[in-house]
């Protein structure tokens, strides 16, 4: 009886977990800007989770650096399935200007499949909202398939 | 106590500070650099955009076909910093950064902007070159000084730049080509450098 209610509520309120994989902080600031009164994504149900174990959507920023690679993969592994991996900005998608650096071992799709990529350097907060809406849709599809 | 009440009352009647984004579309401010628009028909394949791209987002692929070379320029927005260098360096203004910021994709291909154009084989050009000498009505001067065929001249000023004696004055805007006969040493440099073979000696 409660299962349906819980599932319905969970689908409407996906929790985010943000991983910084060596980002320049530009994308991180834009993600945090989403939680400010001006954009306020909490009205759409998104909430920044404190631990990966509570999250539904993982938002990764930054090209994956050699130092962060192990931590990123371990953190993503802790997120329960079904999960959606969102890349924010150009870096996790292609390493952007950091490609070829001795300390960068990305891009992220070498290690985990990327579900949604939001392009921009950095993306506009509105574009991030678009991306998260798409991520929610994918999450719903994944849950339905399960 | 009173200031808080005042704040609460004004807050009650003022507009909400939250943008109603997904329900109400928002336009990017003027000058925002978003999705790249590539006008393939204007491209002259100088390759400048590719050279100045910091993120290595621009690649060119050319394919030989019967009619000529099919050049495809590919912009991968997932590797773009949207710095606008490619657009700034494009002499033909073939690259434009639009106001569109909705760049959300599930696959890599959705983030690609590409355009292709046909670079025709020089066969036609050769024909034109063969026909050109007949068209030329300007006769060389008897004293050996250069003459300009104004029908061919594009006023690129290359001859004036290369002239060792400084005898040529070319104005690109006014479309004038003036020879100082006293200074000219009839060396033929202008004739050699002219890309349009407009200078006859």
Q: Which CATH number goes with the domain that contains A34?
A: 3.40.50.12280
Cα A72 from Cα B73, distance rounded (Å) = 34
Q: Can you list the domains of chain B with their CATH numbers? A: 22-120 (3.30.70.3270), 137-200 (3.30.70.20)
**What's the ipTM?**
0.87
- Predicted local distance difference test score (pLDDT) of residue B127: 54
For residue A39, the chain B residues in CB contact (below 8 A) are 18-19, 21
Which of A119, A125, A142 best tests the B interface by mutation, with the highest count of B CBs <10 A? A119
Residue A66, domain member (yes or no): yes
**Residue A37, in any domain of the structure:** yes
The model's pTM is: 0.72
Name the band, by pLDDT with cuts 50, 70 and 90, for residue A8: confident
In A, which residues are within 8 Å of B22 by CB distance? Answer: 44, 129-130, 133
Kindly state whether residue A88 falls inside one of the protein's structural domains: yes
B105/A116 CB distance under 8 A: yes
**Domain-embedded: residue A40:** yes
Which pLDDT score, from 0 to 100, does residue A79 have?
93
What was the pLDDT predicted at B129? 53
Q: Which residues of A touch B81 (CB under 8 A)?
A: 90, 96-97, 121
Domain region containing A97: 15-145
Q: Give the pLDDT mean for A29-51.
A: 91
Kindly give the parts of chain B with pLDDT less than 50: none
Report the C-alpha gap between B42 and B91 in whole angstroms. 10
- Is residue A86 a contact partner of residue A135, using CB atoms and an 8 Å limit? yes
In a domain, A93, yes or no: yes
Residue A5 lies in a domain: no
Cβ(A139)–Cβ(A11) under 8 Å? yes
- State the nearest Cα–Cα gap between A9 and chain B, in angstroms: 20
Q: What is the mean pLDDT of residues A117-138?
A: 91
> CB–CB of A14/A46 below 8 Å?
yes
Tell me phi and psi for residue A22, to 5 degrees: 90, 35
Query: What is the pLDDT, as a whole number, of residue A58?
Result: 94
Q: For residue B82, which residues of chain A lie inside 8 Å, CB to CB?
A: 120-121
User: What is the count of structural domains for chain A?
Assistant: 1
Which residues of A make CB contacts under 8 Å with B? 37-40, 43-44, 90, 93-97, 99, 115-121, 123-127, 129-131, 133-134, 138
- Domain membership flag for residue A25: yes
In chain B, the residue whose alpha carbon lies closest to the alpha carbon of A86 is B106
Q: Cβ–Cβ of B55/A90 closer than 8 Å?
A: yes
The answer to whether B28 contacts A90, with C-beta atoms less than 8 Å apart, is: no
Q: Say which of B22, B103, B111 has its CB closest to residue A129.
A: B22
Mean pLDDT (chain A) is 90
**Pairing relationship of beta strands A15-20 and B199-200 according to DSSP bridges:** unpaired
What pLDDT shows up at residue B122?
Answer: 67
Q: What is the pLDDT of residue A146?
A: 60
Asked whether residue A130 is assigned to any structural domain, the reply reads: yes
Per-residue pLDDT tens over the stretch A50-96? 899 999 999 999 999 999 999 999 999 999 988 999 999 999 999 98
CB A54 within 8 A of CB A15: yes
Contact B104 A94 (CB under 8 A): no
């Amino acid at each position: 009886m409660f299962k349906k209610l819980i599932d319905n509520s969970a689908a409407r309120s996906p929790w985010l977990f943000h991983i910084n994989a060596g980002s320049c902080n530009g994308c991180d600031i834009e993600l945090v800007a989403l939680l400010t009164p001006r954009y306020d994504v909490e009205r759409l149900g998104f909430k920044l989770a404190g631990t990966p174990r509570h999250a539904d959507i993982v938002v990764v920023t930054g090209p994956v650096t050699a130092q962060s690679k192990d931590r990123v993969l371990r953190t993503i592994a802790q997120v329960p399935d079904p999960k959606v991996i969102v890349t924010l900005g150009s870096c996790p998608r292609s390493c952007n200007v950091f490609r070829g650096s001795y300390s960068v071992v990305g891009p992220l799709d070498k290690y985990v499949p990327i579900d949604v990529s939001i392009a921009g350097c950095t993306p506009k907060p509105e574009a991030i909202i678009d991306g998260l809406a798409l991520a929610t849709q994918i999450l719903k599809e994944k849950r339905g398939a399960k | 106590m009173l200031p808080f009440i005042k704040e609460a009352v004004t807050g009650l009647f003022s507009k909400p500070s939250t943008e109603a984004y997904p329900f109400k579309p928002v336009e990017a401010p003027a000058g925002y650099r978003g999705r790249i628009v590539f006008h393939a028909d204007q491209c002259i394949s100088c390759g400048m955009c590719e050279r100045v791209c910091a993120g290595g987002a621009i690649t060119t692929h050319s394919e030989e076909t019967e009619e000529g070379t099919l050049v495809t320029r590919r912009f991968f927005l997932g590797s773009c910093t949207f710095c606008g260098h490619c657009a700034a360096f494009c002499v033909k203004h073939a690259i434009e950064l639009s106001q569109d910021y909705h760049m959300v994709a599930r696959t890599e291909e959705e983030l690609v902007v590409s355009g292709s154009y046909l670079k025709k084989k020089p066969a036609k050009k050769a024909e034109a070159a063969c026909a050109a000498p007949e068209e030329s009505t300007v006769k060389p001067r008897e004293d050996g000084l250069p003459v300009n065929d104004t029908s061919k001249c594009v006023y690129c000023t290359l001859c004036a730049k290369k002239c060792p004696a400084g005898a040529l004055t070319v104005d690109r805007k006014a479309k004038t080509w003036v020879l100082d006969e006293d200074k000219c040493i009839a060396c033929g440099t202008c004739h050699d450098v002219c890309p349009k073979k407009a200078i006859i000696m």
